[in-house]
Structure 1
C-alpha cells in the first residue's frame, strides 16, 4: 500500500515558524554524527520534552500494556515526566499535550470548559485514556473529560500515537494516553507548592510519599482558583469573567506481600466548577466531577511467568446550573493479564470485561464488552517484531476483531527503521444509540492504519520521521432527520475520514543549550466531501530551547498552527497563530525552588473554537518546597 508524503504549503501565518522548525530538525539530524555512544532507538520519540533524556533502564506501558524497555518498542511514543509538567506552567493537561508531536487541542473558553484532544488529527473520542490503568470515558459526548483531569497530581504521561485496538479494545483509533500518579519510595518525601498568576489565579499543591517495610504510599491534594477572563466576547453573551475552581486529590497505596506478590490501590478524584455564558443575563456553571479507582494484584509466579489482576471503576458526571442538564457515566473494568518471557520472546494473553452505564434523563442504559487479547513480541539481533490480535464481544452489536503487526530493524546502532499496520474500532456511545437523536442500530466506527518511521539516536541527538495513513469507515456524524424520534436530526454512520501526514521531530545539544522541535504536516479530511475536518490544521509545529546559566534553568518555546475551520462545511475560518513562551526556575534555598513563566508573550489574539476567546498573555510565579 503506497503512502504519499504530504507537501502541504504552510499558510502565511505559519510559514516562517514551520521553516524554522524544519531547519532545526534537519540540523539535529545532520549533527548527530558528531555525538557519542547511542542510547536505545526508542529514545528518538522523546522529542517534545525540554529536560532530561530517559535512562537506559526506563520502561513504558502504553505500547503493549506491559512494561517494556524503550529499546524494544516499534510504536511512536512520547513521555512527559513530572519535572517537564512543572516547568510547563500549564493549567491543564491538554496544554501540556499540545506541545508534543502529533497533538492538537480545542477548547470552548478557559480551563474547566469543554476540551478536545486530537492525536494525528483523529477525533477526540478516538483516544483511549487511562489513569493508573483505570479507563475513563464519557458515554454522552464520547472521549475522555480532559478538562476534569487534574494536572497537578500527575507524575508521568505516556502518549502512544496510532491505533491500538488490538491491545486496548474499543476506542483507541487515534492513540492512547496513559497517565500515572506518583508511587512512594524509601523514606518520607513531603512537598508543598503555591503560585499566583494574572486573572487572579492561585494554585496550591501538597502531598507526601514514602515507603516503610512492605508498605509504600503517595498522597496528594491540589486546588486551583481563577476569576478567569471573558470567554465569549460576542454581543449576544455576557461581558463578564468566566472563572473556575478545581479541587482534586489522589492516593496510591501498595503492599509488597512477599518477593513475588504485590497488592495496590489507586484513587484520583476531581471536582471542577467553571463558568460559561449561554446568552445575555445567563451566567451558567459547569459542575464536573470525576473519579478513577483501581485495585491490582501483581504476581511473579516464576522468572518467566507473571500475572496482573485488576478491578477498576471510574465516573464522569457533568451538570450545568441553573440551566438543567445532567449526564453521568460509570465504567467498571476487569482485567486478567498474563505474560510469559522466554529469552527474546514475550507472549501475552489477557481476558478483559468492560461495563458501561449512562444516566442522562430519560436515558438509563448500559452495555458490556468481553475481550480476549493475544500478543507476541520478539527482540534480538537488531530485529523487533510485535504482533497483537484481539476479539471483543459487545452485548449490543456482537463481535469485533482487530489486529496489528509491527516490525523494526536496527540498520546501524544509531539508525532504526519501523513499519506497522493495524486496525481498531470504537463502539457507538450509549447517548448516540438511546438519546432522542440516537439510532440503536449504529455500527462501530472502524479504522485501518499503516505507518512507517525512520529514527536516529546518538548521545543527546535524536531525529525521527514518521509517515502515516489512518482511514476510518462508518464514521458517526450528526445527520438530517431519520429513524430517531427527533425531527431536528439523528446520528448515523454516514461518513468516512482519512488522517494522513508526516511528523518530523528532533533534539540536539548545542554547547549548553538543549534544542527540541517537531513539525506535523497532515491532511485530516472527510473522504466523502473532501473537506478538512473541523478544528484541525494542515500544519502545526513546536520549537524550543533550554539552558542553565548562573544557577537558573532558562527556556523558550514556540507553538505554531496553520488555519483551521470551525465547521465540517469549512465555512468559518479559525486563523493560524504563533505563540511564544518563556520560563525560568532556580533553587532559592536548599529545598525550595522558584518558577516563573510567561505564556503567549506577544499577547496573540487567537481562537481554538469560534467565538470563544483565549487567555492572552499569562504570567505565573510559583514556589515549591520539597526536602531532598
Structure 2
C-alpha cells in the first residue's frame, strides 16, 4: 500500500465505488438466513459480527465452475494460485494469508494435511458434492483453535428434506471435459424423522499442456509436452434420524479419488513417462445433538479425515489422518448466548521423508458469550489449547456491533490466533523439531448497509503474524544441505474489502473489490502469488425464460517468488452464463469462460485454460 494506512485508503476506494450503483455482499440473503461457521452453532445472519459470505447450490451451479477453488475465487477477499488445470496443485489465499492459514471443514470434519507446510489440497475436494459454502474472514482461533489465522471456510453437503427428490446431470466442455452425476435426497418415516442424501459423480478431462513451450525457460529444464488431464470419482452420504423431539443423530461420509497428470522436473524425450499424482480424500462425521430444554442444548461430534497423496513413477507417498472429538454446550436465555466447548484433535503423518509415522494431539477448552438486543451486538470468545509438542496456547477475540439505524450497522473486532507447525515441518529431512507456532493479532472495522435488495459492505483489517514458518537455504543450522524450515519470519496482511449487490430494472448487480498489502515484514517484499488489487463485477437477469449472467474477474500483477524477481502480469477475464428449463424437470445450462481468450498465469511457467466452453443438462424431480 506504499505507506498509506487502510483507513486513508478507504476514502479513495469509496470514491472509486461511487461510479458504481450501490453495492453489497452476496451474504445478504434472507433476513433469517442461519450461519453455523461464526460460532460453531446456528445463529441468524443478522447477529453475525464477523465478515461472512454464503454460497448456496444455486450460486454454485450458475457459476459453471469446475473446482471449489474457482467458486471461492469469485468471493470478496479470496484469490487462488494453481499449477496448470483444475486437477493441478491449488492454493486459496484468504485476505492475502498463506493457504494453510485458513481452517477448512466439511460437514464439521476438519480437512488438512500434515505434509509440507500443511493446508487442504483444494483440488481433491469434489464440487459436485457440495451444497453450500460459508466463508468467514478474520481470525477464529478463539473458536476453532489452531490454523484459523485468516479465517474459516466450511463446506456442506446436501441435507435431505421433503419427498424423495432424485436428480441426474451430464455435461461436456473444452479440453475434453466430461461430467456425470446422480443422487437422491429426501425424508421419510413418521414426521419425516429419517432424512437422507446420497450422491455420486464422475468427471474426466483430457486437460491442457500445463507447461507449454512458450512458458518454459532454460533454467527449468525440459518439460513433457503432453496434455495433463485428470479423472475424479466421488461419493457422499448424509443420513439423519430425529430420535424424538430432543435428540437427533446424524452421519456424514465423503469419498473422493483424483488422478492427475503433471510434468515432473526430470523428463527424457527419448524415454518419456507419464507422471501421475493420486489424491484420496475420506471424511466421516458422527453427530449427536440434544435439546434438553428451550434454553440448553448439547452437541457431541466424532470426526475422522484421511488425505493420501502419491506420485508415480517418481516415488513419493504421504498420508495424513485427523481425528476430532467435540463436546459443545449452549445456553440461550433471551438475548444472551453462552457456549462451553471441549475439543481434542489427533494428527498422524506417514511420509517417505519422515520415516516412522509421527503423531501429535491438541486438547482445547473454549468459552463464548454472545449478546444481541436492540442496537447492540456483542461476541466474546476465549480458548486454551494444549499441544503435545510445544505446550499451551491462549487465544481470544472480542467483537461489537452497533446499529445506527435499522439499515446501517458499524462493527469493530480484535482477535488472536495461531497455527502449530506441521509434523513434516518438525520431523522430515528438512524439519526442525523445536519450531514454535505461528501467532497472529488482528484488528478490523466494518460498515454494513442494507435496504431491501441493496446493500454495501466495507471492511478494513490488519493482521500481523509472528514466528512465520518459512523454508530457508542451508546448511547453517540445517541438518539438510538443501535447507530447512525456520520460524523467525514476520508478515502483515492488511487491506480493505468492499462488496455489494444492487437490483435495478430486473437486473441483479454484484461487485467486490480488494485492496490489500500482504507483506513480508523482514524483507519488505510482497508475498508470492498475491495481488495487491483484485475485483469481481457481475450481473444476472431473466429474459424470455432464460437466466443470463455476465461476470468480470480482474487482478493486478503479483510476484511468483519471495524475492519479487519473477512477475506474473495482471489480467481481466469476462465470463458468460445462461440457463433455461427446457422441460418442467430438465434444465439446460451453458457457460463461456475467458471470453476474450486472455493469456495469463496463476503460477510461473504454468498455463491456464484460455477460452473454455461448457454445456450441461440436469434432470431433477420437482
In the superposition, the TM-score normalised over structure 1's length comes to 0.94
C-alpha distance in structure 1 between counterparts of 2:171 and 2:152, whole Å: 31
User: Residue 271 of structure 1 aligns with which residue?
Assistant: 257
C-alpha distance in structure 2 between counterparts of 1:117 and 1:71, whole Å: 27
Q: 565, 570, 581: which one pairs with 1:587?
A: 581
Q: Secondary structure at the match of 2:186?
A: strand
User: Residue 291 of structure 1 aligns with which residue?
Assistant: 282
C-alpha distance in structure 2 between counterparts of 1:620 and 1:562, whole Å: 27
| Cα separation, partners in 2 of 1:9 and 1:92, compared to 1, 3 Å | farther
Deviations 1:354-405 (A, max 9, x none): 0000000214100000000100000001100000000000001000000000
C-alpha distance in structure 2 between counterparts of 1:8 and 1:341, whole Å: 38
User: Residue 472 of structure 2 aligns with which residue?
Assistant: 479
User: Residue 104 of structure 1 aligns with which residue?
Assistant: 79
C-alpha distance in structure 2 between counterparts of 1:135 and 1:438, whole Å: 24
C-alpha distance in structure 1 between counterparts of 2:555 and 2:470, whole Å: 26
C-alpha distance in structure 1 between counterparts of 2:607 and 2:575, whole Å: 18
C-alpha distance in structure 2 between counterparts of 1:276 and 1:581, whole Å: 27
Q: 528, 532, 535: which one pairs with 2:522?
A: 528
Aligned residues: 600
| Cα separation, partners in 2 of 1:105 and 1:21, compared to 1, 3 Å | farther
User: Residue 596 of structure 1 aligns with which residue?
Assistant: 590
Q: Secondary structure at the match of 1:28?
A: coil
C-alpha distance in structure 1 between counterparts of 2:454 and 2:351, whole Å: 51
Asked if the contact 2:237–2:253 (Cα under 8 Å) also holds between the matched residues in 1, the reply is yes
Q: Secondary structure at the match of 1:187?
A: coil
C-alpha distance in structure 2 between counterparts of 1:363 and 1:565, whole Å: 37
Matched ranges for 1:461-476 at <5 A = 461-476=454-469
C-alpha distance in structure 1 between counterparts of 2:11 and 2:225, whole Å: 38
The Cα shift of 1:240 comes to 1.2
Matched ranges for 1:418-497 at <5 A = 418-481=411-474, 482-497=476-491
The Cα shift of 1:74 comes to 0.5
Asked if the contact 2:25–2:501 (Cα under 8 Å) also holds between the matched residues in 1, the reply is no
The Cα shift of 1:111 comes to 1.3
User: Residue 226 of structure 1 aligns with which residue?
Assistant: 205
Deviations 1:226-247 (A, max 9, x none): 0001011135111110000100
Matched ranges for 1:137-152 at <5 A = 137-141=112-116, 142-152=118-128
The Cα shift of 1:22 comes to 2.8
User: Residue 399 of structure 1 aligns with which residue?
Assistant: 392
C-alpha distance in structure 1 between counterparts of 2:134 and 2:58, whole Å: 14
**Residue 22 of structure 1 pairs with residue 10 of structure 2:** no
Aligned-residue CA RMSD (Å): 1.6
Matched ranges for 1:13-412 at <5 A = 22-23=17-18, 25=20, 27-28=21-22, 45-46=25-26, 54-141=29-116, 142-213=118-189, 214-234=193-213, 236-278=222-264, 279-280=266-267, 281-361=272-352, 362-412=355-405
Deviations 1:412-434 (A, max 9, x none): 11110000000000000000000
| Cα separation, partners in 2 of 1:94 and 1:544, compared to 1, 3 Å | same
Q: Secondary structure at the match of 2:70?
A: helix
The Cα shift of 1:24 comes to 5.4
C-alpha distance in structure 2 between counterparts of 1:22 and 1:357, whole Å: 48
Bigger relative contact order, structure 1 or 2 (CA pairs below 8 A, ≥6 apart): 1
Asked if the contact 2:32–2:46 (Cα under 8 Å) also holds between the matched residues in 1, the reply is no
Asked if the contact 1:193–1:624 (Cα under 8 Å) also holds between the matched residues in 2, the reply is yes
C-alpha distance in structure 1 between counterparts of 2:164 and 2:480, whole Å: 59
Q: Secondary structure at the match of 2:599?
A: coil
Unaligned runs of 5+ in 1: 11-17, 30-43, 48-52
Deviations 1:164-208 (A, max 9, x none): 000000000010001000011021000001000011110111000
The Cα shift of 1:23 comes to 4.3
Asked if the contact 1:523–1:532 (Cα under 8 Å) also holds between the matched residues in 2, the reply is yes
The Cα shift of 1:9 comes to 13
C-alpha distance in structure 2 between counterparts of 1:358 and 1:145, whole Å: 15
C-alpha distance in structure 1 between counterparts of 2:106 and 2:543, whole Å: 36
C-alpha distance in structure 2 between counterparts of 1:615 and 1:151, whole Å: 18
Q: Secondary structure at the match of 1:94?
A: helix
The Cα shift of 1:21 comes to 7.5
Q: Secondary structure at the match of 2:172?
A: strand
In the superposition, the TM-score normalised over structure 2's length comes to 0.95
Q: Secondary structure at the match of 1:186?
A: coil
Q: Secondary structure at the match of 2:61?
A: helix
Asked if the contact 1:541–1:559 (Cα under 8 Å) also holds between the matched residues in 2, the reply is yes
C-alpha distance in structure 1 between counterparts of 2:552 and 2:322, whole Å: 38
C-alpha distance in structure 2 between counterparts of 1:103 and 1:54, whole Å: 20
Deviations 1:290-316 (A, max 9, x none): 011000001000000000000000011
Deviations 1:571-612 (A, max 9, x none): 000000001000000000010000000000011000000000
User: Residue 41 of structure 1 aligns with which residue?
Assistant: none
Q: Secondary structure at the match of 1:232?
A: coil
Q: Secondary structure at the match of 1:125?
A: helix
C-alpha distance in structure 1 between counterparts of 2:40 and 2:58, whole Å: 24
Q: Secondary structure at the match of 1:199?
A: helix
4+ aligned runs moved over 6 Å, structure 1: 18-21
C-alpha distance in structure 2 between counterparts of 1:119 and 1:355, whole Å: 25
**Residue 517 of structure 1 pairs with residue 503 of structure 2:** no
The Cα shift of 1:484 comes to 3.7
User: Residue 499 of structure 2 aligns with which residue?
Assistant: 505
